[in-house]
Amino acid sequence: MRQLELFKATLYRMYKSTGVRIAVLLTYIAAICYYVLATMVANGKMGVDVAGSITGLGDAMIIWLFGSLIVGILVGGDFESKTIHGTIGHGRKNVVINYVMVYMVMMAVLLLPYLVGSVALIIAEVDMTGAESTAVSIFLDNVLKFGDGASIGKLVISYISYVIVVMGQLGILIIVAMKIRKAMAVTCVGFIFGMFTALIASLASKVEMLDNIYKLTPYNYGISRLGIEANISDMCVGIVVSLIFMAVCGGIGWIVFRKADIK
C-alpha cells in the first residue's frame, strides 16, 4: 500500500512539473512534425535531401533528449528540493523501485505520439514509399513494410517489444541519475550517450568479449530484430533482455543510493 501511495505521489509530482510538461509537449510536437514531413517526402513535396534533418525529429534522438531530462527531473528533483528526506522513509529499495516504475510510465507517455502516428498511417493505408530514408525506428519502418496479409498480432508484438526495448536502453540513466542527482547533468549525459550508441556498438564489435556483452543488452535490438519483418522470437527475447537490463540498472541504482550520504 505504501508503495502504491509513493507511486501515485511521484506521478503527481511529475504531472505538475513544468519541465516534464515542456518535455512531453515538445516531444509530441516533434512527432507530429516528423510524420507530416516524412509524408511530404513520400508525396514528392519535399526532396529526399532533407531526410537527414527530418530524422532528427524521430523518436531515436528525441527520446534520448527528453527522456534523459525526465529521468533527471524524476530522480534529481527529489534531491534538489530535499523532498528525498521524506521519501526515504519508505525505504531506499522501495524508493528505487518507485523510480523505475514511474520511469517506465513516463517513457510510454513520450513514445505514445510516435506509436499513434505509426498506427494511424497504417490504418489510413498511407503510401510512404519514398520516405525510407526518414525511417529511424520501427514506427515508420512498420508503415513501409506492412502489406496485404500482414499479421496484426505480430504488429502489436513489434510495437510492444520496441517500447520495452527503448525503456531498457534508457534504463542506464537510472544509475546515472542516482549518482549525479542533477536534472540538467543527467540530460547532457543521456543525450551524449544516445548520440554515440552506434559508435559504441561498432567499437564493441571489434572485441569479442565486449561484443558478447553488448549482445546481452537492449542496444543490440533495432529495426531488423523488432520490425514487422523480424522473427517473433527475436522480439520476445528483446523484451526479456530489456526487462532484465532494467532490473539490473535498478539494482545498481539501489546500491549507489544505499551507499549515498543524503544531506
Identity at 147, one-letter amino acid code: G
Write down the pTM of the prediction.
0.90
Average pLDDT over residues 21-33: 96
Confidence band, pLDDT 50/70/90 cuts, at residue 86: low
Give yes or no for a contact between 223 and 159, defined as CB atoms under 8 angstroms apart.
no
Lowest mean pLDDT among 85-89, 117-121, 183-187, 236-240: 85-89
Confidence band, pLDDT 50/70/90 cuts, at residue 263: low
pLDDT for 222? 84
DSSP-derived secondary structure for 63-89: HHHHHHHHHIIIIIHHHHTTTHHHHGG
Cell of 249: 540498472
Query: How many separate domains does the chain show?
Result: 1
Secondary element (H or E) of residue 177? helix 172-180
Cell of 165: 526495448
pLDDT of 101-127, one tens digit each? 999 999 999 999 999 999 999 999 998
User: Which residue in this structure is represented by grid cell 519508505?
Assistant: 90
Backbone angles phi, psi at 193, to 5 degrees: -60, -40
Is 184 buried (19+), middle (13-18) or exposed (0-12) by CB count in 10 A? middle
Own/partner contacts of 16-19, CB < 8 Å, gap of 24 or more, are 17/73, 17/77, 19/69, 19/70, 19/73, 19/183
Cell of 116: 499513434
Alpha-carbon distance of 101 to 83, in angstroms, equals 19
Alpha-carbon distance of 119 to 64, in angstroms, equals 22
Domain that holds residue 111: 2-259
